[in-house]
Amino acid sequence: MSHDHSVVRHIRSQESDTAVDVDVVPYGTSKNRLASKYLWLSLLVALIPLIGFASLYDSYFSQLVTRLTEEQLATRVAATQNEFRVFIRERKFELLALADQFDNPNLFVPSGRQKISSELESLLRLQVDARSVYGVVFFDEKGEVVWTFPEERQAALTGLESISEFEGTELIGPSPFSIEQPSGVVLRIAEHLAPRSGRKGSIGFFLRFNSLTEILQGLDQGTAFRVLLQAGDGQAYDVVGQPVTMTKVATQRFSLLPGWSLLVMQDRELVMSPVERMRYWLIILMIFTVAGLFWLHMSISRRLNRQVESLIDSVEKVALGNLETPVANVQGVEMLRLRQAIERMRRQLKTFIRSTLAIERQATLGQLAAGLAHDIRNPLTTIRTTVAALARRETNPENKEMMGLVEEEIDRVNDVLENLLNFARPRDPLASKIDAKELLNGIVALVGASARNQSIELRVTCASSLAFWADEGHVRQVLMNLLLNALEAMSVQGRLIQLDACQKGDEVALSVCDDGQGMPEDILAHIMEPFYTTKSAGTGLGLAICNTLIKSNGGRMSIDSIKGKGTTVTVFLPVAKAQE
């Protein structure tokens, strides 16, 4: 059995112990209950991802609808193919018209630029005003560039390699992509280079390559699919003329010209990526949902377990007899109610056991005292009378002294028996109104001499009109006992005993406070128990009798002590009211 001797500075009476009120926690509304909270949170954690899931699914469905509308793609591709070819044909007709004006064979030589008339030059200027035409290129009969208009465009014609034929024209290029200048392609009339044409050269346009890629712009959605132009050089270009690395598989390829194609890319980044991203987010959401629920369950479970374990520990301590340790605090309405019930049970059990023990102890002592009175006191009286008679006749002083010692010891045994009887069956109190100041002064007068011998000051503090209701003999006996205890306790240290009387509510508090050596907590816990003493010659009944006497007067007693600092014993008795 383990005993917790924690500080018990204030020993309450049995009545006050049982009267302890435990704070009652309200049952609470349903949402404050732990189970309700758990349900709401679970619902919340489940609902948020569900809403997200539904929204994303809806968006995914919308994308699906968009993809279904791609059926229109074929129609639009056909239109784009036609627009591309029409663009080339229009340039071809412009070239043919221009070639009619430049029919002089002498123009198709390197010095041809200097030989054109101002009217022909105006025609050339008019031609290059068009945004899609960078310049006009003149070829000799071998197909080599002899001069260009404007002149600076000649440099841009280097690097043109691939040649695609289309309806009597040749599309050469595009020029290699560079960050310096935009790419261009040359469109020239192939027929005029044939020997049978009778011409000495041919004319071509140096076309803006972006004018060709821009034709695809109407088809390029940028969201569902991407459209690229695969030019004669085999390279794919986007609608703004940037080369695109062909890492992805084109799902559809449509021919524009020989060697030139339209690529409709089912771009993973553009088509699948949004869908996959959505799926990815759905998976993440699901994982978070599961993880969230799991965490929630684990957390609540751990918390409940912790609290239940704590309560079980407390109950086990009570079961093992430790009634001093309060039940640990817990949270949650239900758990708090359970904790309060256990705490109430502990306190009631403690009170019950204490009172039962006290009753049993007192009953046992009563029987013992009665037995002693009967079996010891009468023979002792006979012995003492006999010894006294013998002593009177005894002439030998040594024997006479020894007989005197026997008488004293018999008196001491009688005193012990008297104390026992007082404790077991105290005299019923005869209550009267007692003036506190008068009482205290009287007691100080009795003990004053002993105190002075120990160089201890006795000081009384009391209001003049303070009175209480009790048996004066009992109170006097108690206060004397307390004062003598204090004087004993101050044999080692201490110089002052303070006797105070004051009113506290309906009670008068009489306290005896010394600055002696005090008591440790483990002694303090048992000091009121009968036969518990720290003195070698003590009976351990002094304070027990005091307590019994005060209780029989409707009062209570408390002891506070700090080792090395002193002890204060306070007696509370009912105040005497004015009419009494």
Partner 1 sequence: MIVRLIGIFLLLLNTVEAEELALGASKADAQATVGCLFPMGGRGGIYGQDSVTGIKLAFEHLKKQPLPYPPIRVLVSDSSSKASKAARQVRNFVRKDGVRFICGVVNSAIALQVAEVAEEEKVFFIGTDHASSKLTRGKVRDYYFRVSNNAEQSMQAAAIYIKKKFARGPRAQPLKLAYIGPDYDYGYQAWKDLRARLDAEGVNYQVETVLWPKLYEPDYSAYLRALVDKKVDLVVNALWGGDLVAFIQQANQTTLFEHARFANFDTGGNYEVLSALGEDMPEGLILSSRHHNNWPQTDYNTWFVERFHALTGRYPSYAAEGAYAGILAISEALRVAGPEASDQALRDALSSLHLKLPEDPEGFISFMNPLNHQLQQVIAIGETVPDQRFLPARMMLGNWMIYHPQLSNQPE
List of residues contacting partner 1 (CB under 8 A): 97, 100-101, 118, 121-123, 125-126, 128-129, 131-132, 150, 179-182, 208, 210-211, 214, 217, 220, 222, 238-242
Beta-strand (E) ranges in 416-523?
431-435, 457-462, 467-471, 496-504, 507-514
- 433 in Cβ contact with 576 (< 8 Å): yes
Element (H, E) at 45: helix 34-68
Q: Strand 507-514 vs strand 496-504: parallel, antiparallel, or unpaired?
A: antiparallel
CA dist., res. 559 & res. 523, Å (int): 11
Of 273 and 367, nearer to partner 1 (C-beta) is 273
Give the nearest distance from C-beta 60 to partner 1 in angstroms.
Answer: 23
Beta-strand (E) ranges in 57-144?
133-140
Give the nearest distance from C-beta 152 to partner 1 in angstroms.
Answer: 8
Of 242 and 432, nearer to partner 1 (C-beta) is 242
Of 113 and 377, nearer to partner 1 (C-beta) is 113
Give the nearest distance from C-beta 94 to partner 1 in angstroms.
Answer: 10
Q: Strand 457-462 vs strand 496-504: parallel, antiparallel, or unpaired?
A: parallel
State residue 565 phi and psi, 5-degree precision.
-115, -30
Interacting residues of 260 by C-beta distance below 8 A, sequence separation 6+: 84, 164, 171, 229, 230, 231, 232
Give the nearest distance from C-beta 233 to partner 1 in angstroms.
Answer: 18
The token duo for 162 is: 């691939």
Give the nearest distance from C-beta 135 to partner 1 in angstroms.
Answer: 11
Of 182 and 292, nearer to partner 1 (C-beta) is 182
How many residues comprise the chain? 580
Of 63 and 101, nearer to partner 1 (C-beta) is 101
Give the nearest distance from C-beta 131 to partner 1 in angstroms.
Answer: 5
Give the nearest distance from C-beta 264 to partner 1 in angstroms.
Answer: 16
The token duo for 99 is: 């070639």
Of 244 and 460, nearer to partner 1 (C-beta) is 244
Of 208 and 317, nearer to partner 1 (C-beta) is 208
Q: What is the DSSP letter of 198?
A: -
CA dist., res. 70 & res. 91, Å (int): 32
Interacting residues of 240 by C-beta distance below 8 A, sequence separation 6+: 210, 213, 214
